[in-house]
Amino acid sequence: MEDVNYLRDIFQTPSKGVAGIPYDERIERAKKGWDKKGEDTEKRLSEAKKFVKSGTKIVDPADAVALLETVIKPGDRVSIEGDNQKQANFLAKCFAKVSPAKVNNIHMVQSVLALPEHLDVFDKGIASKVDFCYSGPVATRLANMVMSGKITIGAIHTYMELFARTYLDLTPRVCLVAANAADKEGNLYTGFNTEETHSIIEATKFRKGIVIVQVNQIVNKVPRVDIPGGWVDFIIPTEEPYYIEPLFTRDPRLITESQIFIAMMALVGVYAKYEVKTLNHGIGFNTAAVELLLPTFGEEMGLKGKICTHWALNPHPTMIPAIESGWAESFMPFGSEVGMEKYIMARPDIFPIGPDGTMRSNRVMSQAAGHYAVDAFFGSTLQIDQFGNSAAATAGRIPGFGGAPNMACNAPGRRHPSKGWLMASEEDGMRESLIGPINRGRKLVVQMVETFGEGMAPVFVEKLDAFKLQAQAKFPIPPIMIYGDDITHIVTEEGIAYIHKCKSLKERMDAIKAVAGYTPLGLAADEAQTKKLRKAGIVALPEDLDLSFNDAKRSKLAAKSMSELVEWSGGLYEPPVKFRNW
């Protein structure tokens, strides 16, 4: 029998078929009846040829609505790129203008509902169902539309969860995305804010879907090919660049002494104690305070090189002083941040910079890093109940989850050890009763909150509003952001509760009350029990950490204004107009 070199014959032999794959007419015969999606796509593309400029993939923006009415059919699953930063806003507006008589009963799959048009399509009868992750900017309107029956929610996901499902059982039939530039062949440059563009396109195109891209400009040659032209069907140049929200920018002027105090306690009682080197910070002024304390208070503690070296994090402007002071070694960004582009380009040792000299972010892999590669998540929330469960949902609002549940949970699949990961597991009060004398490591999940939030609403409550919302929207489960058994620490202006050390639910409840301040939950704290918990190292008050509120001065911040952040950057950081207050 003749020897067959499969590697050579199948993958390297030139042929009249697909490059590198030998032509075999048996494939075409066998494929009949098994390529219905591909045949349907070819039919749709053929119908849409009239909108394409000859010899290119370019469609005039004036024909965008007609194009969408041609390639999108009733009952399709459609994805519009819109995360919590980058928005395919031109295509969102065009999609909201299609005729419901032609396009209807659409199932939307998108990570974030943020623009009015994202909900307008439901009001107009174009779309009927949505699977999403986050909807903060339109949370109240979304809740009203769900309760009035205008929208059916398939599920509210975490980012990683939805990204995974777009490859499995929520594959888009058509996707509408945004890029910085394209050439006439359709090769795309997605720039600093690559984010999830590539994953949406890949999930769509490799299930024979249709890819439509709005681009800021058409160029002869893109700086780098982020998406090959073969994966793109139509490109639409727009007059205005796609919208980006400066989501992670925090003005140091607005950081309060209470937030500084919480940050100092966290640095002493968590960051330093567990030697947290790999981490993620959620959005908020508490974590911004930590970032601005690293070059000052952190330096005084001798922590440089011992903590906060590797970050799964967007390029926060409040990280500039720490980077310039030599604290950070690397960043894995979910996206970029408006105005940080020049600074990022000047720091290729810190950020992922390609041969073209610009950064490429990756929301999917950053979420994976936030789940598996970091030792700790530090974030905030609107409510924490007596058991330690936390949520951002309140009655009448459906904000969704975003990425926090993915990063703020233990990853049992992790196997690489670190000091903090092992230490948290060794301290776990319930570990042995569940899995025996096995130390498998544990992620630090830290909630940093003031005991009262906006409008003096208590953060600590007996029962989460998420349960009211569950009843109102008829959800199968309450929209809880982070479950209590995943949280290891709660830090407030009153102290730190090391709730992972608790040996019972009752002990955990007592530890939470001990740091809940003058909220109704905090007022129910038992002084004797708090004293006992302090002795056991489950609760630490400020004096146990050798700290006083008088220590929390704004003078400790490495930068106290946006203009000082610009100075730290050597003039390379260019804040958005709304943050230019000097």
Query: 280 vs 49, 220, 222, 366, CA distance in Å?
Result: 46, 39, 32, 10
Ordered structural domains, the chain, with CATH: 38-244 (3.40.1080.10), 252-566 (3.40.1080.10)
Report how far Cα 143 is from the mean position of its chain's Cα atoms.
Answer: 22
Beta bridge partners of 460: 384
Q: What are phi and psi of 576, to 5 degrees?
A: -55, 155
pLDDT in tens, the chain (582 residues): 444 454 445 444 444 556 667 778 888 889 899 999 999 999 999 999 999 999 999 999 999 999 999 999 999 999 999 887 899 999 999 999 999 999 999 999 999 999 999 999 999 999 999 999 999 899 999 999 999 999 999 999 999 999 999 999 999 999 999 999 999 899 999 999 999 999 999 999 999 999 999 999 999 999 999 999 999 999 999 999 999 999 899 999 999 999 999 999 999 999 999 999 999 999 999 999 999 999 999 999 999 999 999 999 999 999 999 999 999 999 999 999 999 999 999 999 999 999 999 999 999 999 999 999 999 999 999 999 999 999 998 878 999 998 999 999 999 999 999 999 999 999 999 988 889 988 889 999 999 999 999 899 999 999 999 999 999 888 999 999 999 999 999 999 999 999 999 999 999 999 999 999 999 999 999 999 999 999 999 999 999 999 999 999 999 999 999 999 999 999 999 999 988 876
DSSP per residue, 160-203: HHHHHHHTTT---SEEEEEEEEE-TT--EE-GGG-TTHHHHHHH
Report if pTM > 0.85.
yes
> Amino acid identity of 304?
K
Q: What is the pLDDT of residue 20?
A: 65
Tally the residues of the chain. Answer: 582
Q: How far is residue 405's CA from residue 132's CA, in Å, rounded to a whole number?
A: 14
Angle at 100 between CA 67 and CA 133, to 5 degrees: 85
Using the 8-state DSSP alphabet, how is residue 485 labeled? T
Q: How far is residue 98's CA from residue 77's CA, in Å, rounded to a whole number?
A: 15
Would you state the structure tokens that stand for residue 215, as one six-digit string? 């681009």
Q: How far is residue 61's CA from residue 38's CA, in Å, rounded to a whole number?
A: 26
Contact 540, 515 (CB under 8 A): no
Q: What is the pLDDT of residue 193?
A: 94
Angle at 494 between CA 286 and CA 487, to 5 degrees: 65
Report how far Cα 490 is from the mean position of its chain's Cα atoms.
Answer: 22
Mention every residue, 6+ apart, whose C-beta is less than 8 A from residue 21: 10, 11, 13, 15
Would you state the structure tokens that stand for residue 232, as one six-digit string? 């793109």
Exposure of 484 in the CB half-sphere (CA atoms within 13 A): 22
Would you state the structure tokens that stand for residue 257, as one six-digit string? 């002494």
Q: How far is residue 500's CA from residue 457's CA, in Å, rounded to a whole number?
A: 26
Which of 403, 420, 421 is closest to 411 using CA atoms? Answer: 421
> Amino acid identity of 86?
K
> Amino acid identity of 102?
K
